[in-house]
């Protein structure tokens, strides 16, 4: 049997009070038919709580509406506020792992072949990395013609991407 929650408007009011108790001035939230999110700035860091009916069901909770998962997140924040007020834990201890991270950017394969973990800042970095890897992939250094060609192609593609981006 699904738990009955109060109206979404009552949880909006509760969220406003919880955020005030936590000293959070900037926050935003939304819910739709099946999910919700609440994000806020706390001590200069952005945090985001997300929940969905699917996630709730996967954890054994019979929840049907996005407004209900919104209620669950608000109630969770209220529990954290109580612990903070009682001196049990500081808010940042509980939510440290919830910092909102920028979405992961898929690095084009040419950059991963050149052994970059992130997009380089300049064409110069690509050329420098190419020179380093030539010492490994060039046939005269023990590499193969095929791998050296792949390295050369990766460098050309990476430079084209960076130059297209306004480099």
The 10 Å Cβ neighbour count of residue 36 is 25
Question: 117 and 56 in one domain?
Answer: no
- What does the pLDDT look like over 101-142, one tens digit per residue? 555 567 899 998 998 888 888 999 999 999 999 998 999 988
Residue 103 falls inside a structural domain: no
- Tell me: pLDDT of 62 over 70: yes
Question: 119 and 83 in one domain?
Answer: no
Find out whether 7 and 15 touch, Cβ atoms under 8 Å: no
Question: 155 and 128 in one domain?
Answer: yes
Question: 28 and 86 in one domain?
Answer: yes
Domain closes at, from 49, 71, 98: 98
Question: 89 and 37 in one domain?
Answer: yes
Q: Strand pairing of 27-31 and 45-52?
A: unpaired
Find out whether 75 and 81 touch, Cβ atoms under 8 Å: no
Question: 35 and 67 in one domain?
Answer: yes
Residue 58 falls inside a structural domain: yes
Provide the whole-model pTM.
Answer: 0.56
Domain closes at, from 55, 73, 98: 98
- Domain containing 159 equals 109-164
Which residues have CB under 8 Å from 52's CB, separation 6+? Answer: 34, 35, 36, 66, 69
Question: 89 and 12 in one domain?
Answer: yes
């Amino acid at each position: 049997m699904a738990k009955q929650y109060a109206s979404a408007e009552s949880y909006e009011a509760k969220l406003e009070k919880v955020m005030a108790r936590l000293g959070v001035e900037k926050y935003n939230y939304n819910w739709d038919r099946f999910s919700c999110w609440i994000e806020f700035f706390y001590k200069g860091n952005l945090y985001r709580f997300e929940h969905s009916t699917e996630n709730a069901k996967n954890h054994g909770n019979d929840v049907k509406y996005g407004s209900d998962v919104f209620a669950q997140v608000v109630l969770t924040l209220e529990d954290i506020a109580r612990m903070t007020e009682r001196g049990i834990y500081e808010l940042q201890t509980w939510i440290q792992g919830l910092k909102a991270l920028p979405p992961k950017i898929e690095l084009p394969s040419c950059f991963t072949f050149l052994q970059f973990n992130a997009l380089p800042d300049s064409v110069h970095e690509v050329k420098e990395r190419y020179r380093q890897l030539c010492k490994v992939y060039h046939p005269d250094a023990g590499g193969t013609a095929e791998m050296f060609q792949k390295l050369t192609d990766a460098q050309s593609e990476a430079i084209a991407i960076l130059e297209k981006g306004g480099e």
